[in-house]
Structure 1
Amino acid sequence: MATWMKVVPLNEVPKLGARVVTHGGVDIAIFRTDGDDVFAVNNKCPHKGGPLSQGIVSGNKVTCPLHGMNICLNDGKVMEPDEGCVATYPTKVEDGVVFMEV
Structure 2
Amino acid sequence: MVENTLGRVLIGKYSDLPERLGKTAFIGKEEIAIFKLANGNVRAIKNRCPHKGGVLAEGMVSGEHVFCPMHDWKINVCDGQVQAPDHGCVKAFKVEVEENLVYIVI
TM-score normalized by the length of structure 2:
0.91
Aligned match for 1:42, one of 21, 25, 46: 46
> Which segments of 5 or more consecutive residues in structure 1 lack a partner in the other structure?
none
Q: Separation in 2 of the partners of 1:73 and 1:93?
A: 16
Structure 1 match to 2:97? 93
SS at match of 2:15: helix
Larger relative contact order (Cα-Cα within 8 Å, sequence gap ≥ 6): 1
Output one character per residue of 1:35-87: Cα deviation in whole Å (capped at 9) or x when no partner. 11101111000000000000011111100011000000111000000001001
CA contact (8 A) 2:96 2:103 kept: yes
Runs of 4+ in structure 1 deviating by more than 4 angstroms, as ranges, are: none
What is the number of equivalent residue pairs in this alignment? 101
SS at match of 2:31: strand
> Which segments of 5 or more consecutive residues in structure 2 lack a partner in the other structure?
1-5
RMSD across aligned positions (CA): 1.0
TM-score normalized by the length of structure 1:
0.95
